[in-house]
Structures are given as C-alpha cells and as structure tokens.
Structure 1
Amino acid sequence: MGNAHTKPADPVVLYNEPDIPITFSPNLLFRLDQIQNPNAAPSPKPAHNHDVDDVVHERVQRAIEKEKQQRLFFEERSADQVRREAEDLLRRQKRVPEQHVNAEYQQLQNAVIDCYRNNTARALDCWKEVADFKGAAKKAQHDFVSTH
C-alpha cells in the first residue's frame, strides 16, 4: 500500500577522471573572494587559466602564512603563560607564612591525645578535654579572622 512511495533512489555514481582538468570561471573565483572578504577591494578578474592558477596559488600562500603566524602567536603566548605561572608559583612558595602555634592550643591538643591513649576502652571519658580543645580552636579561628 504505502510501498510505492518508498521507492529506492538511484545510486549516485561518481566518475574519477584524472585526465580531465578542472577549471573555475573567473566569475566564480571573484564571487568566492567576495564571500570570504566582503570588505576587500574587488580584485581584477583574471583573463587566462595561467592567471587563475597564479591567483589560487597566491591565496593558498596567504592562508598558509596566516596559519603559521597564528600558530607562532599561540606558541609564544603559551610559553609566556607557562613562564608567568611558574614565577607566580615560586613567588607564592617564598611567602608562605610560618605558622606559630600558641602553646596553650598545643597543650590542649596534647591533653586530648593523652586522654584518648589512657582511656582506649572509654573514649567518651575525654569529653571535657575535647570540649576545651574545640573552644580553643574556635577562639583561634576568631583571632585569625580578626587579624587578617
């Protein structure tokens, strides 16, 4: 019923004839140039196939040169960026401030550790030492934030 509308299309056959030269009309080349560079001044239309070959060769050379310049610019930028990041890391490494631990905080931390070691079976008996240490840690955070 609906099979008549789904008729298979004829296969596309492409012939490769390397002996036949491909030529483009000057008008086609002119229009392609206008599409690529709409603000560019109109180039003179080539009159012969030799002129067309010269124009195509010139455009290919310009495209290759542009690609080389972009690649070199990217490589320079990448190297410069890597150098700056390395210098920044070295600079940050040099100014790492030494952290001075208050003796009171160190003493409270040691009290918690000693309590846990002495009461391995009853770790909950160390609640007072842990509460004191937590209070000291909160005070240290508050002092740090207020000074920085």
Structure 2
Amino acid sequence: MGASQSKSNAGDAVFRSEIPVQFSPDVVEQLSERQASATPTPERQSTLDEHIRSRIQSEVKQLRKAEEQVQHEIQLALEKENLDREKAMAGEVSGEQEAGVGSVKSSAALLGDLEETRSKIDRFQSRKSLADYPELKAGQEALVSCYKSHVTSSLECWKEVANFRNSVAQLEKDYFKTLQ
C-alpha cells in the first residue's frame, strides 16, 4: 500500500510553464547565422592560423635538424670509405713497389710530397735571381724602359731586344759549360 509512494519516477515528471519563453529577434538571427555559416569568426580564425604556423615552423626546424644530422653521417661514412679505399690500394700496391711499379700513396703522404716539392721550387726560384748577373739585369731594365717610353711604337726597341737576347744566350752558354 505505501510502497507505491516511495518509488520515484524522474523521467516521468513534466513541468509546464504558463509563461511562454521568447527570444529577441537579434539573438535568433545571430544563432541562425552561426549555425548556417561554416567559417569560424575572425578571432577564432587568427588563433587557428597562428597555431598552424607555429606547428609548421617547429616541424621545419625538426626536419632541418634531421637533415643536417643525416648529411653529417653521410660525410663521415664517405670519409671512412675513402680512407679504407686508400689503405686497401696502398696494401695492394706494396708488393708491386718491390718490382719497380709505381706506388699509390695516401692523402697525407701526397700532401707531404707536395710541400717538399714547393720548398724545392722556392729554393730554385731564390737561386735564379738576376742579382748574380748584372749584365742581364741591365739589359732587362733597358728593354723595359724602352718599351715604356715607346708604348705605341715598340719596334723602335730592336737594339735593346738584341742586347737582351745576346745576354741571355751568353748566360745559357756559360751554364751549359758548367754542366759538362
């Protein structure tokens, strides 16, 4: 008997208002515009754009960092491969060196040879100074001054050219005599 009163049915309760709910035409229009348009408001759009830009920039930074790392690894691998190839070539040729065939050298050995050759060239250049040969130096200076004074008519320097050639020929003869 009293059990039916203690039961509650929440879904069955309906309240009716005797005063009708009314909205202003502005509110109704604004809600209908928002629902009809698929584009967000300008404030929301600028926020979305900024968020997208920041994500793109962070992804670009990560990609560049990864690219630099890959390039560095490739460079190290190529250097190692080149050194291994040079060592292998030097090892293969070591038996041929005894037979008188040319040798393959590493980069370090070639750089050493290059520096040695440069020093020899510098010594040779210093020895061939014209200060040791005053007649040749005088002939050279006379020829240069004649060419400078006769810029448009260089054929007038034929005497200086002949004297310079004779000086060079005499120097060559003297040099070849020392070799014999």
Same fold, TM-score > 0.5, yes or no: no
TM-score normalised by L of structure 2:
0.36
Task: Report which of the two has the higher share of helix.
Answer: 2
Give me the TM-score of the superposition, normalised by structure 1.
Answer: 0.42
Tell me which of the two structures has the higher relative contact order, counting C-alpha pairs closer than 8 angstroms and 6 or more residues apart. Answer: 1
Larger C-alpha radius of gyration, 1 or 2? 2
